[in-house]
Amino acid sequence: MKATILTPQVQRVGRTSMSSVVNSSIGTPSSSAASADRPGTLWQAMKNVVKRMLPETTRRRIYDKRWGPRRHPALGRVRFGSFRQLEPIDRHFGMQWGQCIDRYYIESFLAEHEADVCGRVLEVSDSVYTRRFGRDRVTQPDILHVTPGHPRATVTADLTSADHLPSDTYDCIILTQTLQFIYNVPAAIQTLYRILKPGGVLLATFHGTSKIARYDMDRWGEYWRFTTLSARKLFTEAFPESTVAVRSYGNVLVAIAFLEGLVAAELRREELDYCDPDYEVLVAVRAVKPRQDIQ
């Protein structure tokens, strides 16, 4: 029911069809749940007929009893405002306008774990976060890039096949917004585990909900969106379960704002910080390689 209103299919077909989709969804949760239980039964058909005959107020009462009070406005009363257009407000995450919404979360995650950023630190593509969050605790910053000859890189490697990288090397790896661009995620995580020193910490973030990052898509490819569940499963295949902490950031308002390319400053702090686990905009993982390899 919740998702029905904003599906791409609905956006494509426009207002008339949208009313019909929303309309048909009024009784949908109960009917779809029931039809999943008893597909095609006479009981189901009768229920549907009776439901259609009931006045709207009674249908609502039944719905509320089963699904909790609806906050859905009356049909046709949603005010779309600036969002009623097929082009996003900004196609480039709003990066020309201020802090991107995902960066607000990435940076609060790194700030929370800044004590981990110390010693020899590896970061992907640049060392902005190593310097900002590690400051003078960092003894050697390294920059990894997948493309050979990249001017900033001190390490060139495809994380899915990086046998040339020495094991047990890094105290901290900052892997922000990278895993979604790697097809073979388990292989990359195995490498990250291997090159961390015992006791070393991996700080990783990736999108749960996002538009395509076109720049990256056209270079190395963008393959994945993650959930806290898939992240936990992927990381605990390499790291011991007790050392993996996974969390999400975001809520429905943030998800919409982020997809539209609005920036963090356009939302209130309490709106950004409200976490609804059904709307995972950004997923973050802190994983520690144990001091004694128990694999």
Q: For binding to ligand SAM (CB under 6 A), which residues are involved?
A: 123-126, 145-146, 158-160, 176-178, 181-182, 216, 220
Q: Name residues whose C-beta falls within 8 Å of residue 95's C-beta, 6 or more positions apart in sequence.
A: none
**Chain length of the chain:** 295
194 near 287, Cβ under 8 Å? no
Q: What is the DSSP letter of 58?
A: H
The span from the CA of 120 to the CA of 128, in Å, is 15
| 3-class secondary-structure state, position 15 | helix
Euclidean distance between the first and final Cα of the chain, in Å? Answer: 44
Q: Looking at beta carbons only, is 17 or 161 nearer to ligand SAM?
A: 161
Q: Name residues whose C-beta falls within 8 Å of residue 250's C-beta, 6 or more positions apart in sequence.
A: 105, 208, 209, 258, 275, 276, 279, 280, 281, 282
CB of 77 to ligand SAM, least distance (A): 40
Which residue from 97, 17, 20, 40 is spatially nearest to 267, judged by alpha carbons?
97
Q: Please state the φ and ψ torsions of residue 213, each to the nearest 5 degrees.
A: -90, 100
CB of 176 to ligand SAM, least distance (A): 3
Q: Looking at beta carbons only, is 210 or 248 nearer to ligand SAM?
A: 210
Q: Looking at beta carbons only, is 182 or 259 nearer to ligand SAM?
A: 182
Q: Looking at beta carbons only, is 18 or 143 nearer to ligand SAM?
A: 143
Q: Looking at beta carbons only, is 62 or 213 nearer to ligand SAM?
A: 213
CB of 73 to ligand SAM, least distance (A): 38
Q: Looking at beta carbons only, is 216 or 276 nearer to ligand SAM?
A: 216
CB of 182 to ligand SAM, least distance (A): 4
CB of 60 to ligand SAM, least distance (A): 46
| 3-class secondary-structure state, position 24 | helix
Q: Which residue has the tokens 């049909």?
A: 75
201 near 174, Cβ under 8 Å? no
CB of 233 to ligand SAM, least distance (A): 20
Q: Looking at beta carbons only, is 83 or 220 nearer to ligand SAM?
A: 220
CB of 240 to ligand SAM, least distance (A): 24
